[in-house]
Amino acid sequence: MSDPNQQLQFRQRNRAYYADLERLHQLLVAPGMRVLEIGCGLGDLLAQLQPSHGVGVELDPELAAAAQQRHPQLRIVAADAETITPEGLGETQPFDVILLPNTLNTLQDVQGVLERLEPFCHPRTRLVVSFHNWLWQPLLKAAEGLGQRQPQPPESWLTPNDVRNLLDLAGWEVLKQGQRCLLPRRIPGLSRLANRWLSQLPLLEQLGLTHWMVARPTRQPPQNPSVSVVIPARNEAGNIAPAIERLPQLGAFTEVLFVEGHSSDNTWQEIERVCASYQGPLRLRKFRQSGKGKADAVWLGFDQAEGDVLMILDADLTVRPEDLPRFAQALAEGRGEFVNGCRLVYPRSWEAMPPLNTAANRFFAAAFSWLLRQRLKDTLCGTKVIWKHDYQRLKAGRSYFGDFDPFGDFDLLFGASKLNLKIVEVPVRYQERSYGSSNIAHVKEGLILARMCLVAARKLRFIP
The answer to whether residues 151 and 144 touch, using CB atoms and an 8 Å cutoff, is: yes
CA distance 352 to 356: 12
pLDDT of 310: 98
The 10s digit of each residue's pLDDT in 215-257 is: 999 988 889 999 999 999 999 999 999 999 999 999 999 999 9
Average pLDDT, stretch 72-91?
Answer: 96
Q: Are residue 140 and residue 194 in the same domain, yes or no?
A: yes
pLDDT of 453: 84
Q: Are residue 189 and residue 119 in the same domain, yes or no?
A: yes
Average pLDDT, stretch 127-132?
Answer: 97
Q: Are residue 99 and residue 148 in the same domain, yes or no?
A: yes
Q: Which of 444, 449, 433, 442 is nearest to 233 (CA)?
A: 433
The answer to whether residues 337 and 126 touch, using CB atoms and an 8 Å cutoff, is: no
Q: Are residue 404 and residue 332 in the same domain, yes or no?
A: yes
CA distance 16 to 192: 9
Q: What is the CA radius of gyration of the chain?
A: 25
pLDDT greater than 70 at residue 443: no
Residue 36 lies in a domain: yes
The 10s digit of each residue's pLDDT in 163-217 is: 999 999 999 999 999 999 999 998 988 988 999 999 999 889 999 999 999 999 9
Question: Poorest-confidence range of 72-81, 398-407, 439-448?
Answer: 439-448
pLDDT greater than 70 at residue 1: no
Q: CATH code at 68?
A: 3.40.50.150
Last residue of a domain, one of 197, 217, 237: 217
Residue 252 lies in a domain: yes
The 10s digit of each residue's pLDDT in 293-335 is: 899 999 999 999 999 999 999 999 999 999 999 999 999 999 9
Q: Are residue 129 and residue 245 in the same domain, yes or no?
A: no
pLDDT of 441: 54
Q: What is the 3-state secondary structure of 394-461? A: HHHCHHHCCCCCCCCHHHHHHHHHHCCCCEEEEECCCCCCCCCCCCCCHHHHHHHHHHHHHHHHHHHH
For 334: left if phi > 0, alpha if psi spans -120 to 50, otherwise beta; the answer is left
Residue 222 lies in a domain: no
Burial class (CB in 10 A: 0-12, 13-18, 19+), 161: exposed
pLDDT of 122: 96
pLDDT greater than 60 at residue 141: yes
Average pLDDT, stretch 352-376?
Answer: 87
CA distance 205 to 163: 18
Give, for 284, the enclosing helix (H) or strand (E).
strand 283-288
- 136 compared with 355, residue with greater pLDDT: 136
Q: Are residue 180 and residue 296 in the same domain, yes or no?
A: no
Domain count, the chain: 2
Q: Are residue 243 and residue 202 in the same domain, yes or no?
A: no
Q: Are residue 389 and residue 241 in the same domain, yes or no?
A: yes
Q: What is the 3-state secondary structure of 179-236? A: EECCCCCCCCCCHHHHHHHHHHCCCHHHHCCEEEEEEEECCCCCCCCEEEEEEEECCC
Average pLDDT, stretch 116-141?
Answer: 96
Q: Are residue 448 and residue 411 in the same domain, yes or no?
A: yes
Last residue of a domain, one of 179, 196, 217: 217
Q: How does residue 442 score in pLDDT terms, banded at 50, 70 and 90?
A: low
Phi, psi of 178 (to 5 degrees): -165, 180
Q: CATH code at 354?
A: 3.90.550.10
Q: Are residue 83 and residue 168 in the same domain, yes or no?
A: yes
Q: Are residue 314 and residue 384 in the same domain, yes or no?
A: yes
Average pLDDT, stretch 442-448?
Answer: 69
The answer to whether residues 57 and 40 touch, using CB atoms and an 8 Å cutoff, is: yes
pLDDT of 316: 93
Q: Are residue 110 and residue 165 in the same domain, yes or no?
A: yes
Residue 94 lies in a domain: yes
**Residue 317's domain spans which residues?**
227-461
Q: Which of 99, 93, 82, 178 is nearest to 133 (CA)?
A: 178
Average pLDDT, stretch 405-426?
Answer: 89
pLDDT greater than 90 at residue 102: yes
Last residue of a domain, one of 168, 194, 217: 217
Residue 427 lies in a domain: yes
In the chain, DSSP finds a helix count (H) and a strand count (E) of 17, 14
- 449 compared with 155, residue with greater pLDDT: 155
pTM confidence score: 0.91
Residue 23 lies in a domain: yes
pLDDT of 435: 73
Residue 81 lies in a domain: yes
Q: Which percentage of the chain shows pLDDT scores above 70?
A: 97
Q: Which of 214, 109, 211, 131 is nearest to 172 (CA)?
A: 214
